[in-house]
Chain A
Amino acid sequence: MELFELVTAQTVPDAVKAQARSSTAQNGADVRFIAGGTNLIDYMKLNVERPRQLIDINGLPLDKIEKTADGGLKLGALARNADVAHDPTVRAQYAVLSQALLAGASPQLRNMATTGGNLLQKTRCVYYRDTATSCNKREPGSGCSAIGGYNRMLAILGTSEHCIASNPSDQNVALMALDAVVHIEGSKGQRTVPITEFYLVPGSTPQRETVLEPGDLVTYLTLPKLPAGTKSAYLKLRDRASYEFALASAAIVMKQDAGGRIDFIRVAMGGVGTKPWRSPEAEKALLGKPATPSNFRAAAETALHGARPQSQNGFKVELAKRCLVHAMGQASQNA
């Protein structure tokens, strides 16, 4: 690990001002915010992240979980994953988020990791983690070792010839299905970005993963109120029963009308995309239809229509479909 200077931010504007001096807010940033540290310190130990300055933001008043005036929920960027997962309102109204958080990492990590940190969680691609190998995300222009390499865990949706790294977060898949809004304070003031527009696909610039610019601090997320009677489910499939990243996961938010037809549907997938993956195609396929296994299967086929498997992860196409069908079934039955 390279030497860095640790400074403590007393206020949000101070934090913004300090990070605005960084050349980028993306991979390779020389000034980094640090909160839980579970992801950043791991990557600093591997010399993948080499900031010259860390801004400790743990003292900022951004850890609250509060109901909003319009019936939604506000999640402070510093709210710990464990606290969000066990929050009574989250459990009751946004069960998919609680389930997703509890499916991720370990209890110790969930006690440290924050909402904002998880939002920016880095890929687990082994080549991104290994500075001895080529990786366009870590070192733009150096090449992608994963294409034709060890890519069993990597993405089949949103990939490019430059990068196939998968987004590892569970939380963010649920946030996609909940239409979360990211609230950012930056050098030019405050702004909001719908989570569906927050992440970027790699294209020819895989080092850029989000819309964040230098100085941008994610301060909180808001979750809109869901229609009464909405049910949700998160299903995660992985190599072992616990404490493992997803091979495929699905977050489903669904409401049926009195006649049993689906009149509200959100479909998101994890473990298969270069970003937390929302499928408007699957949603369109289900809207207005009865919640039946055959309709679920048809929607799942649509969701994976554009999948481009690599040499080792072809199994993910069918796995992701079955994951979606199963999760849709759960969401349609959950009380």
Chain B
Amino acid sequence: MDLEEKDDKEPTSSLGKLSRRSFLSHIGAAGVATAATAVAPLAISPTITDAQERTSSEGQTIPGAVPVTLRVNERQYSVQIDPRATLLDTLRETLHLTGTKKGCDHGQCGACTVHINGRRVNSCLTFAAMQQTAEIITIEGLGQPDHLHPMQEAFVEHDGFQCGYCTSGQIMSAVAMVKEPWGASDGDVKEAMSGNICRCGAYPNIVAAVQAVRRMA
């Protein structure tokens, strides 16, 4: 597999001592999904033809399906989806970008946070068919395992997670947050990140990670 073959390649992040393998084992599921898409197709392919074939091969016929074109991570996807499909479900189930997580599915937990036109939003509370003119960025489009986004590096460095399920949402939220008009204090970060729930309770480390990135800026 490409994942194995490329494992000896030195990461270019500032966390130089961290190999990709150890990074993956640290960051958990969200990181694995990121790596899978970033490095090479594994069992799945993000191309549309393959996505459609996969849909049909699984015997899923979608009555009332509508053609939808989405631009995700600077790449265009044309798919047939149920008009009820949220952006979250479309990202995960149709485009197989599983780095974005489904937590509550009601806009209360923030695990599904992605960027639409540069702003953080809950992808569970919008229909994919309504986002056809939008520029969508998911955790897969933020950094690569060998070239992490500074916020991803900071989350690793400050141990800003335990189970990792909320992590991609936390990171997407944090990346957008540093560009928003918030005050400088830890209290401001807590308020600004209040839309992202972490059931493991990694909050102090998440605040530390976000503050580290803000101090760099």
Contact = CB atoms under 8 A, between A and B. Distances in A.
Nearest to B113: A108
Contact of A38 (B64, B122, B190): B122
Contacts of B122: 38, 106, 108-109, 112
B84 A106 contact: no
B105 A108 contact: no
Contacts of A6: 66, 83, 127, 129-130
Contacts of A54: 127
From A54, A56, A108, A241, name the one whose CB has the most chain B CB atoms within 10 angstroms: A108
A42 B125 contact: yes
A41 interface: yes
A3 interface: yes
B173 interface: yes
Given A1-B84, A42-B106, A111-B119, A242 B125 contact: no
DSSP class of B's interface residues: helix, strand, loop or mixed? mixed
B86 interface: yes
B198 to A, nearest CB: 13
B135 to A, nearest CB: 14
A107 interface: yes
Interface string A237-249: 0000111000000
A41 B105 CA distance: 10
Contacts, number: 80
Contacts of B180: 107
B84 A112 contact: no
Contacts of B11: none
B64 A107 contact: no
B181 interface: yes
A71 B147 CA distance: 51
Interface in B86-138: 86, 105-107, 110, 113, 119-122, 124-127, 129-130
DSSP class of A's interface residues: helix, strand, loop or mixed? mixed
B47 interface: no
B23 to A, nearest CB: 27
Interface string A90-122: 000000000000000111110110000000000
A58 B177 CA distance: 24
A6 B65 CA distance: 11
A3 B110 contact: no
Contacts of A109: 107, 122, 125, 195
B83 A42 contact: no
Interface string A1-43: 1011110000000000000000000000000001011100110
Contact of A37 (B83, B84, B106, B127): B127
A108 B130 contact: no
B14 interface: no
A26 to B, nearest CB: 22
Contact of A108 (B66, B82, B110, B181): B110
A306 to B, nearest CB: 33
A232 B147 CA distance: 48
A50 to B, nearest CB: 12
B83 A38 contact: no
Contacts of A45: 105-106
B68 to A, nearest CB: 10
Nearest to A46: B106
A276 to B, nearest CB: 22
A86 B182 CA distance: 10
21 contacts: A1-B84, A3-B64, A4-B83, A5-B83, A6-B129, A41-B86, A41-B124, A41-B125, A41-B126, A42-B125, A45-B106, A54-B127, A82-B119, A86-B181, A108-B120, A109-B107, A109-B195, A111-B119, A112-B126, A242-B190, A243-B195
Given A3-B82, A108-B195, 10 more contacts: A1-B84, A38-B122, A45-B106, A54-B127, A105-B195, A106-B107, A106-B122, A112-B121, A241-B191, A243-B194
